[in-house]
């Protein structure tokens, strides 16, 4: 009995402030996202012949799976992720190969980015984000003494990273390809790659994105709609962006009220996914839109605190990659909705509807939580050692 009490006490020992801030923010954003998914999707769910609550219940199920999984992942030590990073990356790439090279791949809106296995439909590219950032952390940890040698660190990283980038782009998903590119840059930056090497990678990535952006008619139409919104065809590529902006304008300062959006009545495509920020701004007004922005600012602040307190290259690189992934994707999503970036089709992390995206984001944050736990344990060990030295 005594041993059981000690074990239980250790399981619930006090964590660091960073741990609780990140956990609290994540849970609040998931709850807020479920609320907005319910409000933005019930019309489309009914129009599809399903229950009013179909999309909400589906997203809720993923949240029920994802949140406990995040807590379990937060208990796994960093050495586990380092040991299995190679296998995780190979497995994720193998699943993406099934998407782009076999009939199991499933396409939506010109993107073949889903894998259908019986009744299960998911995006392996979301798993690639986690696997790649773990592999980057592991590899850069091994190369930390030779980080400045471009042939020892940067060149192998780029060569390996090009494989998942190619596989995702093979499915015609430029948005996810760009997010994975941001993960790469974030991990390199926080691991300590020299700035001149990072600038080379950034310049090459920007040039590649520009070329790919003009490689298909659909993307060119989106860019034209972005550059000339006043001339956008309301029934063409500019339709979604125009409807999103009209919805936000309708919200004013305090919004039209939760559940009272007009744009979600089959006017605004992807109202519960890529354009959920527009519905939020319409129903909750400028106040609600600013709240969403502040949530991501707070999330970035906490993640940067964890990066600063990390005492390993692995912790800094992985947390840095996750930070740039989530915050960068949020910035791109919101920039698209407000008309500051061409439409890319990336969801708003933790808030948009999308099961694979939600679970992968929660898993990534669970890994970051494990670093925050290790930081607090290391601090406690240091404190105990200091007190023991004083007693002696």
Range of the domain at 174: 17-374
Structural domains of the chain, count: 1
Q: What is the pLDDT of residue 6?
A: 44
Give dist(CA 95, CA 164) in Å, integer: 11
Q: What is the pLDDT of residue 230?
A: 62
Map residue 384 onto helix, strand or coil. helix
Q: What is the pLDDT of residue 4?
A: 45
Q: What is the pLDDT of residue 7?
A: 45
Answer whether residue 379 is part of any domain: no
CB 272 within 8 A of CB 357: no
Q: What is the pLDDT of residue 1?
A: 47
Q: What is the pLDDT of residue 38?
A: 94
Q: Which residues of 199-227 are buried (b: 16+ CB within 10 A; e: fewer)?
A: eebbeebeeeeeeebeeeeebebbebbbe
Answer whether residue 324 is part of any domain: yes
Give dist(CA 286, CA 35) in Å, integer: 18
Rounded to two decimals, the pTM is 0.91
Answer whether residue 202 is part of any domain: yes
Answer whether residue 387 is part of any domain: no
Q: What is the pLDDT of residue 264?
A: 87
Residue with tokens 């380092």: 82
Map residue 343 onto helix, strand or coil. coil
Q: What are phi and psi of 341, to 5 degrees?
A: -155, 145
Q: What is the pLDDT of residue 8?
A: 42
Answer whether residue 388 is part of any domain: no
Q: What is the pLDDT of residue 376?
A: 63
What would you report as the CA-atom Rg of the chain, rounded to the nearest whole angstrom? 22
pLDDT, averaged per 10 consecutive residues of the chain (392 residues), comes to 47 75 97 95 83 90 97 94 95 95 85 86 94 96 89 93 95 92 95 93 92 84 77 64 88 92 87 93 96 98 95 95 97 93 90 94 97 74 51 56
Q: What is the pLDDT of residue 384?
A: 47
Answer whether residue 5 is part of any domain: no
């Amino acid at each position: 009995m005594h041993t059981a009490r000690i074990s239980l006490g250790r399981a619930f020992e006090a964590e660091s402030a960073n741990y609780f801030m990140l956990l609290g923010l994540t849970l609040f954003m998931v709850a807020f996202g479920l609320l907005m998914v319910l409000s933005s999707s019930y019309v489309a769910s009914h129009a599809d012949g399903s229950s009013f609550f179909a999309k909400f219940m589906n997203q809720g199920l993923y949240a029920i799976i994802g949140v406990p999984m995040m807590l379990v992942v937060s208990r796994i030590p960093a050495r586990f992720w380092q040991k299995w990073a190679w296998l995780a990356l190979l497995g994720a790439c193998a699943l993406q190969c099934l998407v782009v090279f076999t009939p199991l791949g499933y396409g939506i809106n010109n993107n073949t980015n889903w894998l259908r296995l019986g009744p299960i439909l998911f995006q392996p590219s979301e798993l690639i984000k986690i696997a790649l950032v773990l592999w980057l952390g592991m590899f850069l940890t091994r190369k930390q003494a030779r980080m400045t040698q471009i042939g020892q660190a940067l060149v192998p990283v780029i060569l390996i990273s090009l494989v998942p980038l190619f596989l995702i782009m093979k499915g015609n998903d430029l948005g996810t390809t760009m997010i994975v590119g941001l993960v790469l840059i974030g991990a390199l930056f926080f691991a300590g790659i020299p700035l001149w090497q990072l600038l080379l990678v950034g310049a090459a990535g920007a040039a590649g994105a520009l070329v790919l952006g003009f490689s298909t008619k659909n993307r060119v139409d989106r860019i034209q709609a972005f550059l000339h919104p006043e001339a956008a065809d309301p029934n063409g590529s500019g339709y979604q962006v125009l409807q999103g902006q009209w919805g936000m304008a309708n919200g004013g300062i305090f919004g039209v009220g939760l559940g009272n959006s007009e744009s979600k009545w089959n006017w605004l495509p992807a109202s519960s996914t890529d354009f959920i920020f527009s519905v939020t701004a319409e129903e909750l007004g400028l106040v609600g839109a600013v709240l969403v922005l502040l949530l991501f600012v707070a999330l970035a602040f906490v993640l940067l605190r964890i990066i600063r307190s990390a005492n390993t290259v692995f912790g800094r690189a992985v947390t840095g990659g996750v930070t740039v992934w989530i915050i960068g994707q949020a910035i791109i999503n919101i920039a698209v909705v407000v008309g500051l970036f061409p439409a890319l089709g990336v969801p708003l992390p933790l808030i948009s509807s999308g099961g694979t995206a939600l679970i992968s984001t929660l898993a990534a944050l669970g890994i970051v939580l494990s670093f925050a736990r290790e930081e607090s344990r290391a601090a406690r060990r240091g404190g105990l050692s200091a007190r023991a030295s004083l007693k002696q």
